[in-house]
Structure 1
């Protein structure tokens, strides 16, 4: 992500380097980036933080956004890497299912060959792999929404802090 997509304030280069050294900023950043923190609670925390910043309000809010952006961007990168692994595993499992299906179809052409212990085990393995694949496929939408939800947090924080 690029902070320019969601930040309309002053340049953040200095804030991106210094936010973690400011104890007040780094403490609230941890709370604000926690996914368990509701947006209404985050808005209240930001309002309180902005008020307490006094004449350093703009500087502190810039560092706050820089910290939120940095932390959420790191979380987002981890999630995207996880999605890529998830996708590779799904493709691999899909290929395995395809290969096993063809193998079963080729080797089990009559009822006698379909009822052998080996054939039943192959079919059971194929059924299990197919079930896992289908369940993972159903979860894919949720998995792919996670980075989008994270991307919304810093832009919401910026918009709210500018109105305070």
Structure 2
């Protein structure tokens, strides 16, 4: 029977969605196996001097803002980041104050990046849930059409092709989600590494 494979795949997809439950009921749309931590804790990444007096002020310094953007970008290798941090702080009149300002910028920027990624993941999860419902209803409709005494092959083909496309998009998104789930952890690790670099320079 034509479309038997796509029906089997579609039913498997909808069964998976029904069985999938968020690990933490507080975040029903969180799709990752990693626990959702909404924000990075400052105490978890920074052991240097208090930053209360510099939070938000880094944006007023064009040089710091440009350096924050460069260091926060994951495409900038950590070796290059270390060199840029050393050069910047060695040229500063007050190393500690400049280091605090730089890290405050990195902390705010990377936390914002992280929130953006996490919100995107939850948005995709909601789309996946909607897509699974559509796949489920289209699968049932296709099975009904195939069971009719006088089959309308044109309708069957149209719905069958639509279902193939829907399941392909669903599976592609699932692959993207799995990949993007690693990003918040990568941001955490980057921020921790940059914090250590700055602290070592100002100690």
Q: Superposition RMSD on alpha carbons, in Å? A: 1.7
1:59 aligns with: 97
1:29 aligns with: 68
1:17 aligns with: 56
2:19 aligns with: none
Q: How does 1:12-161 map to 2 (within 5 A)?
A: 12-54=51-93, 56-109=94-147, 113=151, 116-161=153-198
2:12 aligns with: none
2:47 aligns with: 8
Cα shift readout 1:21-47 (whole Å, capped 9, x = no counterpart): 223322211211123211111011111
TM-score by length of 2: 0.74
TM-score by length of 1: 0.90
Question: How many residue pairs end up in the alignment?
Answer: 162
Shift of 1:102: 1.4
CA distance in 1, matches of 2:176, 2:160: 25
Q: Which has the higher helix share?
A: 1
CA distance in 2, matches of 1:22, 1:132: 45
Cα shift readout 1:77-132 (whole Å, capped 9, x = no counterpart): 1111111111111111111111111121123116852x611111001101110111
